[in-house]
Amino acid sequence: MDFSFFMPAQLIFGRGKAKETGTYVKSLGNKALIVTGKSSAKRAGHLDLVTKSLEKEGIDWVLFDEIEPNPLTTTIDRGISFARENKVDVVIGLGGGSAMDSAKSIAFGVKREGSIANYFGPQPASEALPIVLITTTAGTGSEANSFAVMTNPETHVKRALSSPSTYAKISIIDPELMLTVPQKVTASTGIDVFFHSMESYLSKKSHPVSKPLSLEGMRLVVENLQGAYEDGNNIEYRERMAWANTIAGIAINLAGNCGIHGLGHPISAYYDIPHGETLAAVSLAFLRFSISEASEKLTEVAKILGVQTGGLSSVKAAEKAVEALETFLKNINLPTKISAFGITENDIEKLARNAYENSIHNFKASPREMTLEDAISIYRESL
Ligand SMILES: [Fe+2]
Protein backbone atom coordinates (compact mmCIF):
# COMPACT_ATOMS: atom_id res chain seq x y z
CA MET A 1 0.00 0.00 0.00
CA ASP A 2 1.58 3.26 -1.08
CA PHE A 3 0.19 6.49 -2.44
CA SER A 4 0.74 10.21 -2.69
CA PHE A 5 -2.05 12.76 -2.38
CA PHE A 6 -1.67 16.07 -4.22
CA MET A 7 -4.82 18.10 -4.91
CA PRO A 8 -3.88 21.76 -5.12
CA ALA A 9 -7.08 23.12 -6.72
CA GLN A 10 -9.24 25.34 -4.53
CA LEU A 11 -12.79 24.04 -4.97
CA ILE A 12 -15.58 26.60 -4.58
CA PHE A 13 -18.82 24.61 -4.38
CA GLY A 14 -22.35 25.94 -4.11
CA ARG A 15 -25.46 27.34 -5.73
CA GLY A 16 -24.90 30.77 -7.27
CA LYS A 17 -21.09 30.72 -6.93
CA ALA A 18 -20.47 31.31 -10.66
CA LYS A 19 -21.84 34.84 -10.24
CA GLU A 20 -18.78 35.56 -8.07
CA THR A 21 -16.24 34.43 -10.71
CA GLY A 22 -14.68 37.89 -11.01
CA THR A 23 -13.81 38.06 -7.33
CA TYR A 24 -11.85 34.81 -7.61
CA VAL A 25 -10.17 35.62 -10.94
CA LYS A 26 -9.01 39.02 -9.66
CA SER A 27 -6.35 37.41 -7.49
CA LEU A 28 -4.84 35.64 -10.53
CA GLY A 29 -4.76 38.11 -13.42
CA ASN A 30 -6.04 41.21 -15.21
CA LYS A 31 -6.81 39.85 -18.67
CA ALA A 32 -8.66 36.57 -19.03
CA LEU A 33 -9.05 34.19 -21.93
CA ILE A 34 -12.43 32.47 -21.71
CA VAL A 35 -12.33 29.05 -23.37
CA THR A 36 -15.70 27.55 -24.19
CA GLY A 37 -17.70 25.57 -26.75
CA LYS A 38 -19.49 26.89 -29.77
CA SER A 39 -22.97 27.42 -28.37
CA SER A 40 -24.25 25.91 -25.13
CA ALA A 41 -22.57 28.29 -22.64
CA LYS A 42 -23.92 31.22 -24.65
CA ARG A 43 -27.39 29.79 -25.13
CA ALA A 44 -27.76 28.94 -21.45
CA GLY A 45 -26.61 32.43 -20.38
CA HIS A 46 -23.51 31.16 -18.55
CA LEU A 47 -21.14 33.23 -20.68
CA ASP A 48 -23.04 36.45 -19.91
CA LEU A 49 -23.05 35.64 -16.23
CA VAL A 50 -19.28 35.12 -16.18
CA THR A 51 -18.35 38.12 -18.34
CA LYS A 52 -20.56 40.44 -16.26
CA SER A 53 -18.86 39.21 -13.12
CA LEU A 54 -15.40 39.81 -14.66
CA GLU A 55 -16.36 43.31 -15.82
CA LYS A 56 -17.69 44.17 -12.37
CA GLU A 57 -14.20 43.50 -11.02
CA GLY A 58 -12.49 45.44 -13.84
CA ILE A 59 -11.00 42.35 -15.52
CA ASP A 60 -10.53 42.46 -19.30
CA TRP A 61 -11.46 39.34 -21.23
CA VAL A 62 -11.29 37.79 -24.69
CA LEU A 63 -13.23 34.79 -25.95
CA PHE A 64 -12.08 31.60 -27.68
CA ASP A 65 -15.30 29.72 -28.41
CA GLU A 66 -14.23 27.09 -30.92
CA ILE A 67 -13.96 24.03 -28.67
CA GLU A 68 -15.71 20.95 -30.04
CA PRO A 69 -16.80 17.86 -28.09
CA ASN A 70 -13.73 15.54 -28.11
CA PRO A 71 -11.46 18.61 -28.53
CA LEU A 72 -8.81 18.41 -31.23
CA THR A 73 -5.14 19.28 -30.78
CA THR A 74 -5.42 21.48 -33.89
CA THR A 75 -8.17 23.56 -32.24
CA ILE A 76 -6.15 23.84 -29.03
CA ASP A 77 -3.13 25.02 -31.04
CA ARG A 78 -5.30 27.82 -32.45
CA GLY A 79 -6.37 28.69 -28.90
CA ILE A 80 -2.72 28.87 -27.81
CA SER A 81 -1.90 31.32 -30.64
CA PHE A 82 -4.97 33.39 -29.74
CA ALA A 83 -3.90 33.50 -26.06
CA ARG A 84 -0.40 34.67 -27.07
CA GLU A 85 -1.68 37.32 -29.49
CA ASN A 86 -3.97 38.73 -26.82
CA LYS A 87 -1.37 38.60 -24.05
CA VAL A 88 -3.78 37.11 -21.52
CA ASP A 89 -2.55 36.31 -18.02
CA VAL A 90 -5.25 33.89 -16.81
CA VAL A 91 -7.30 31.20 -18.59
CA ILE A 92 -10.92 30.41 -17.70
CA GLY A 93 -12.45 27.14 -18.91
CA LEU A 94 -16.24 27.44 -18.99
CA GLY A 95 -18.24 24.37 -19.97
CA GLY A 96 -18.08 20.60 -19.77
CA GLY A 97 -14.96 18.48 -19.91
CA SER A 98 -13.97 19.51 -23.41
CA ALA A 99 -13.89 23.25 -22.58
CA MET A 100 -12.18 22.75 -19.22
CA ASP A 101 -9.59 20.32 -20.60
CA SER A 102 -8.86 22.66 -23.51
CA ALA A 103 -8.39 25.57 -21.09
CA LYS A 104 -5.79 23.48 -19.23
CA SER A 105 -4.00 22.56 -22.46
CA ILE A 106 -3.98 26.17 -23.66
CA ALA A 107 -2.66 27.47 -20.32
CA PHE A 108 0.08 24.84 -20.50
CA GLY A 109 0.83 25.19 -24.22
CA VAL A 110 1.28 28.98 -24.13
CA LYS A 111 4.54 28.41 -22.29
CA ARG A 112 5.75 25.63 -24.63
CA GLU A 113 7.21 25.30 -28.11
CA GLY A 114 5.38 23.58 -30.95
CA SER A 115 2.03 21.80 -31.16
CA ILE A 116 0.19 20.64 -28.05
CA ALA A 117 0.09 17.23 -29.79
CA ASN A 118 3.71 16.79 -28.65
CA TYR A 119 2.63 16.73 -25.01
CA PHE A 120 0.40 13.67 -24.53
CA GLY A 121 0.89 11.75 -21.31
CA PRO A 122 2.47 12.76 -18.00
CA GLN A 123 4.50 15.99 -18.21
CA PRO A 124 6.83 17.52 -15.66
CA ALA A 125 5.80 20.50 -13.54
CA SER A 126 6.67 23.78 -15.18
CA GLU A 127 5.29 27.18 -15.94
CA ALA A 128 1.68 27.60 -17.12
CA LEU A 129 -0.86 30.40 -17.01
CA PRO A 130 -3.16 30.22 -13.95
CA ILE A 131 -6.31 28.21 -14.68
CA VAL A 132 -9.85 28.83 -13.43
CA LEU A 133 -12.46 26.17 -14.26
CA ILE A 134 -16.23 26.60 -14.16
CA THR A 135 -17.96 23.30 -14.78
CA THR A 136 -21.38 23.35 -16.42
CA THR A 137 -21.93 19.58 -16.42
CA ALA A 138 -21.67 16.82 -13.83
CA GLY A 139 -19.27 14.81 -15.95
CA THR A 140 -15.55 14.67 -16.32
CA GLY A 141 -14.39 15.80 -12.89
CA SER A 142 -11.83 17.87 -14.77
CA GLU A 143 -12.23 20.68 -12.24
CA ALA A 144 -10.67 18.45 -9.59
CA ASN A 145 -7.78 16.83 -11.43
CA SER A 146 -4.84 17.53 -13.73
CA PHE A 147 -6.05 15.61 -16.80
CA ALA A 148 -6.58 17.42 -20.10
CA VAL A 149 -7.91 14.91 -22.62
CA MET A 150 -7.53 15.76 -26.30
CA THR A 151 -7.62 14.02 -29.67
CA ASN A 152 -5.02 14.24 -32.42
CA PRO A 153 -7.11 14.09 -35.63
CA GLU A 154 -4.17 12.86 -37.73
CA THR A 155 -3.17 9.89 -35.57
CA HIS A 156 -6.57 9.21 -33.91
CA VAL A 157 -4.88 9.29 -30.53
CA LYS A 158 -7.22 10.35 -27.72
CA ARG A 159 -5.30 10.70 -24.51
CA ALA A 160 -4.71 13.02 -21.57
CA LEU A 161 -1.92 15.47 -21.02
CA SER A 162 -1.34 15.79 -17.28
CA SER A 163 1.11 17.79 -15.26
CA PRO A 164 1.28 19.37 -11.82
CA SER A 165 0.86 22.61 -13.84
CA THR A 166 -2.54 21.64 -15.30
CA TYR A 167 -4.55 21.78 -12.08
CA ALA A 168 -6.94 24.67 -11.73
CA LYS A 169 -5.90 27.28 -9.22
CA ILE A 170 -9.62 27.72 -8.55
CA SER A 171 -12.57 25.58 -9.66
CA ILE A 172 -16.13 26.81 -9.33
CA ILE A 173 -18.79 24.10 -9.09
CA ASP A 174 -22.21 25.75 -9.23
CA PRO A 175 -25.07 23.26 -9.61
CA GLU A 176 -27.37 26.04 -10.85
CA LEU A 177 -25.38 26.04 -14.12
CA MET A 178 -26.33 22.38 -14.63
CA LEU A 179 -30.11 22.91 -14.64
CA THR A 180 -30.08 23.54 -18.39
CA VAL A 181 -28.06 20.45 -19.40
CA PRO A 182 -30.15 18.48 -21.96
CA GLN A 183 -31.38 15.03 -20.99
CA LYS A 184 -29.08 13.07 -23.30
CA VAL A 185 -26.00 14.97 -22.08
CA THR A 186 -27.10 14.51 -18.46
CA ALA A 187 -27.05 10.75 -19.05
CA SER A 188 -23.73 10.56 -20.91
CA THR A 189 -21.86 12.92 -18.56
CA GLY A 190 -23.47 11.44 -15.45
CA ILE A 191 -22.48 7.91 -16.36
CA ASP A 192 -18.88 9.12 -16.82
CA VAL A 193 -19.02 10.00 -13.11
CA PHE A 194 -20.15 6.47 -12.30
CA PHE A 195 -17.31 4.95 -14.34
CA HIS A 196 -14.69 7.27 -12.81
CA SER A 197 -15.91 6.08 -9.42
CA MET A 198 -16.13 2.40 -10.31
CA GLU A 199 -12.89 2.19 -12.32
CA SER A 200 -10.87 4.01 -9.67
CA TYR A 201 -12.34 1.53 -7.17
CA LEU A 202 -11.54 -1.55 -9.30
CA SER A 203 -8.11 -0.22 -10.28
CA LYS A 204 -5.04 -1.97 -8.90
CA LYS A 205 -3.93 1.53 -7.88
CA SER A 206 -6.92 2.17 -5.57
CA HIS A 207 -5.88 2.97 -2.01
CA PRO A 208 -7.29 4.02 1.36
CA VAL A 209 -7.77 7.67 0.35
CA SER A 210 -9.31 6.97 -3.06
CA LYS A 211 -11.63 4.09 -2.08
CA PRO A 212 -14.12 5.99 0.10
CA LEU A 213 -14.40 8.68 -2.62
CA SER A 214 -14.97 6.00 -5.28
CA LEU A 215 -17.66 4.26 -3.24
CA GLU A 216 -19.42 7.51 -2.37
CA GLY A 217 -19.24 8.65 -6.01
CA MET A 218 -20.94 5.44 -7.16
CA ARG A 219 -23.59 5.68 -4.45
CA LEU A 220 -24.43 9.28 -5.31
CA VAL A 221 -24.76 8.51 -9.02
CA VAL A 222 -26.99 5.49 -8.43
CA GLU A 223 -29.23 7.54 -6.15
CA ASN A 224 -29.39 10.73 -8.23
CA LEU A 225 -28.64 10.28 -11.93
CA GLN A 226 -32.02 8.85 -12.86
CA GLY A 227 -33.68 11.78 -11.07
CA ALA A 228 -31.44 14.37 -12.76
CA TYR A 229 -32.21 12.68 -16.09
CA GLU A 230 -35.98 12.71 -15.63
CA ASP A 231 -36.31 15.99 -13.76
CA GLY A 232 -33.46 18.19 -14.96
CA ASN A 233 -34.78 21.29 -13.20
CA ASN A 234 -34.50 19.68 -9.79
CA ILE A 235 -31.58 21.44 -8.09
CA GLU A 236 -31.26 18.74 -5.40
CA TYR A 237 -30.43 16.04 -7.96
CA ARG A 238 -28.13 18.40 -9.85
CA GLU A 239 -26.32 19.38 -6.67
CA ARG A 240 -25.68 15.79 -5.59
CA MET A 241 -24.50 14.84 -9.10
CA ALA A 242 -22.16 17.87 -9.07
CA TRP A 243 -20.63 16.73 -5.80
CA ALA A 244 -20.36 13.14 -7.06
CA ASN A 245 -18.59 14.43 -10.16
CA THR A 246 -16.03 16.37 -8.16
CA ILE A 247 -15.17 13.57 -5.74
CA ALA A 248 -14.96 11.10 -8.62
CA GLY A 249 -12.61 13.54 -10.34
CA ILE A 250 -10.40 13.46 -7.25
CA ALA A 251 -10.65 9.64 -7.11
CA ILE A 252 -9.31 9.22 -10.67
CA ASN A 253 -6.57 11.68 -9.90
CA LEU A 254 -5.53 9.43 -7.02
CA ALA A 255 -6.09 5.97 -8.49
CA GLY A 256 -6.70 6.39 -12.23
CA ASN A 257 -9.23 4.69 -14.46
CA CYS A 258 -8.88 1.20 -15.86
CA GLY A 259 -10.01 -0.76 -18.91
CA ILE A 260 -13.40 0.84 -19.58
CA HIS A 261 -11.81 4.23 -20.26
CA GLY A 262 -8.97 2.55 -22.16
CA LEU A 263 -11.45 0.83 -24.48
CA GLY A 264 -13.79 3.83 -24.75
CA HIS A 265 -11.28 6.44 -25.93
CA PRO A 266 -10.52 4.93 -29.37
CA ILE A 267 -14.26 4.89 -30.17
CA SER A 268 -14.44 8.64 -29.53
CA ALA A 269 -11.19 9.22 -31.41
CA TYR A 270 -12.36 7.42 -34.56
CA TYR A 271 -16.09 8.06 -34.56
CA ASP A 272 -16.52 11.22 -32.43
CA ILE A 273 -19.00 9.51 -30.09
CA PRO A 274 -19.72 11.19 -26.69
CA HIS A 275 -17.33 9.89 -24.06
CA GLY A 276 -19.94 8.54 -21.62
CA GLU A 277 -21.73 6.60 -24.36
CA THR A 278 -18.51 4.83 -25.36
CA LEU A 279 -17.93 3.80 -21.75
CA ALA A 280 -21.44 2.44 -21.32
CA ALA A 281 -21.14 0.39 -24.50
CA VAL A 282 -17.94 -1.46 -23.50
CA SER A 283 -18.54 -1.64 -19.75
CA LEU A 284 -20.62 -4.81 -19.47
CA ALA A 285 -18.22 -7.03 -21.42
CA PHE A 286 -15.25 -5.51 -19.56
CA LEU A 287 -16.85 -6.34 -16.20
CA ARG A 288 -17.70 -9.91 -17.22
CA PHE A 289 -14.07 -10.32 -18.29
CA SER A 290 -12.93 -8.98 -14.89
CA ILE A 291 -15.15 -11.04 -12.58
CA SER A 292 -12.53 -13.74 -11.96
CA GLU A 293 -10.16 -11.18 -10.41
CA ALA A 294 -12.59 -8.60 -9.03
CA SER A 295 -15.59 -10.53 -7.68
CA GLU A 296 -15.27 -9.15 -4.16
CA LYS A 297 -15.06 -5.54 -5.23
CA LEU A 298 -17.88 -6.16 -7.70
CA THR A 299 -19.97 -7.51 -4.82
CA GLU A 300 -19.68 -4.05 -3.27
CA VAL A 301 -20.67 -2.51 -6.61
CA ALA A 302 -23.68 -4.88 -6.70
CA LYS A 303 -24.81 -3.68 -3.26
CA ILE A 304 -24.58 -0.05 -4.37
CA LEU A 305 -26.66 -0.92 -7.44
CA GLY A 306 -29.34 -2.34 -5.15
CA VAL A 307 -28.65 -6.07 -5.52
CA GLN A 308 -29.51 -8.22 -2.47
CA THR A 309 -26.21 -10.09 -2.19
CA GLY A 310 -26.95 -12.07 1.00
CA GLY A 311 -26.37 -15.78 0.45
CA LEU A 312 -24.76 -15.27 -2.97
CA SER A 313 -21.19 -16.28 -3.77
CA SER A 314 -18.99 -13.33 -4.72
CA VAL A 315 -18.91 -14.52 -8.35
CA LYS A 316 -22.72 -14.73 -8.46
CA ALA A 317 -23.02 -11.30 -6.81
CA ALA A 318 -20.57 -9.87 -9.38
CA GLU A 319 -22.66 -11.32 -12.21
CA LYS A 320 -25.71 -9.64 -10.64
CA ALA A 321 -23.76 -6.36 -10.56
CA VAL A 322 -23.31 -6.55 -14.32
CA GLU A 323 -27.02 -7.25 -14.83
CA ALA A 324 -27.99 -4.37 -12.51
CA LEU A 325 -25.65 -2.00 -14.33
CA GLU A 326 -27.20 -3.02 -17.66
CA THR A 327 -30.65 -2.14 -16.31
CA PHE A 328 -29.34 1.16 -14.93
CA LEU A 329 -27.84 2.09 -18.32
CA LYS A 330 -30.99 1.14 -20.20
CA ASN A 331 -33.17 3.19 -17.85
CA ILE A 332 -31.33 6.34 -18.94
CA ASN A 333 -31.24 5.26 -22.59
CA LEU A 334 -27.50 4.72 -22.88
CA PRO A 335 -26.16 2.22 -25.43
CA THR A 336 -24.93 -1.13 -24.10
CA LYS A 337 -23.43 -2.30 -27.42
CA ILE A 338 -20.82 -0.74 -29.69
CA SER A 339 -22.86 -1.81 -32.72
CA ALA A 340 -25.13 1.11 -31.73
CA PHE A 341 -22.38 3.37 -33.17
CA GLY A 342 -22.23 1.43 -36.46
CA ILE A 343 -19.08 -0.43 -35.40
CA THR A 344 -18.65 -3.88 -36.98
CA GLU A 345 -16.26 -6.81 -36.68
CA ASN A 346 -14.04 -5.16 -39.33
CA ASP A 347 -13.29 -2.22 -37.01
CA ILE A 348 -12.33 -4.19 -33.94
CA GLU A 349 -8.65 -4.87 -34.56
CA LYS A 350 -8.00 -1.19 -35.35
CA LEU A 351 -9.77 -0.10 -32.15
CA ALA A 352 -7.99 -2.69 -30.00
CA ARG A 353 -4.55 -1.75 -31.36
CA ASN A 354 -5.25 1.93 -30.77
CA ALA A 355 -6.38 1.20 -27.19
CA TYR A 356 -3.36 -1.01 -26.54
CA GLU A 357 -0.89 1.53 -27.89
CA ASN A 358 -2.34 4.59 -26.18
CA SER A 359 -3.97 3.29 -23.00
CA ILE A 360 -1.62 0.54 -21.85
CA HIS A 361 -1.63 2.18 -18.40
CA ASN A 362 -5.38 1.45 -18.20
CA PHE A 363 -4.82 -2.13 -19.37
CA LYS A 364 -2.23 -2.68 -16.64
CA ALA A 365 -4.28 -1.03 -13.87
CA SER A 366 -7.31 -3.22 -14.59
CA PRO A 367 -8.11 -5.83 -11.94
CA ARG A 368 -7.53 -8.55 -14.58
CA GLU A 369 -4.74 -7.13 -16.68
CA MET A 370 -5.71 -6.98 -20.36
CA THR A 371 -3.67 -8.02 -23.37
CA LEU A 372 -4.27 -6.94 -26.96
CA GLU A 373 -6.14 -10.21 -27.54
CA ASP A 374 -8.34 -9.53 -24.51
CA ALA A 375 -9.20 -6.08 -25.86
CA ILE A 376 -10.22 -7.68 -29.17
CA SER A 377 -12.48 -10.17 -27.42
CA ILE A 378 -14.07 -7.55 -25.14
CA TYR A 379 -14.87 -5.35 -28.14
CA ARG A 380 -16.20 -8.42 -29.97
CA GLU A 381 -18.41 -9.34 -27.04
CA SER A 382 -19.66 -5.73 -27.00
CA LEU A 383 -20.87 -5.86 -30.62
FE1 LIG B 1 -14.19 9.91 -18.21
- What does the pLDDT look like over 33-47, one tens digit per residue? 999 999 889 999 999
Q: What's the gap in Å between 101 CA and the centre of ligand 1?
A: 12
Q: What is the mean pLDDT of residues 238-259?
A: 95
Please, which residues have CB within 8 angstroms of residue 373's CB and are 6 or more apart in sequence? none
pLDDT at 278 over 80: yes
Q: What's the gap in Å between 140 CA and the centre of ligand 1?
A: 5
pLDDT of residue 267: 97
Confidence tier at 126 by pLDDT (50, 70, 90) = confident
pLDDT in tens, 323-346: 999 999 999 999 999 999 999 999
Q: What is the mean pLDDT of residues 267-276?
A: 94
pLDDT of residue 1: 67
* CATH architecture of structural domain 10-178: 3-Layer(aba) Sandwich (3.40)
For the four alpha carbons of 197, 201, 205 and 207, in that order, the dihedral sign comes to positive
Q: What's the gap in Å between 252 CA and the centre of ligand 1?
A: 9
User: Which pTM was predicted?
Assistant: 0.94
Q: What's the gap in Å between 9 CA and the centre of ligand 1?
A: 19
% of the chain residues with pLDDT over 90: 96
- Do domains 10-178 and 183-381 share one topology? The answer is no
pLDDT at 132 over 90: yes
Confidence tier at 118 by pLDDT (50, 70, 90) = very high
Where exactly are the structural domains of the chain?
Answer: 10-178, 183-381
CA dihedral 289, 352, 355, 74 (to 10 degrees): -150
pLDDT of residue 4: 78
Do 179 and 235 touch, CB atoms closer than 8 A? yes
Lowest mean pLDDT among 19-28, 36-45, 81-90, 172-181: 36-45
Q: What's the gap in Å between 266 CA and the centre of ligand 1?
A: 13
DSSP assigned state of 9: P
CATH code of domain 183-381: 1.20.1090.10
Q: Residue 298 is which amino acid?
A: L
Q: What's the gap in Å between 31 CA and the centre of ligand 1?
A: 31
Mean pLDDT of the chain: 96
CA angle 89, 91, 95 (to 5 degrees): 165
CA distances in angstroms from 58 to 25, 196, 243, listed in the order given: 11, 38, 31
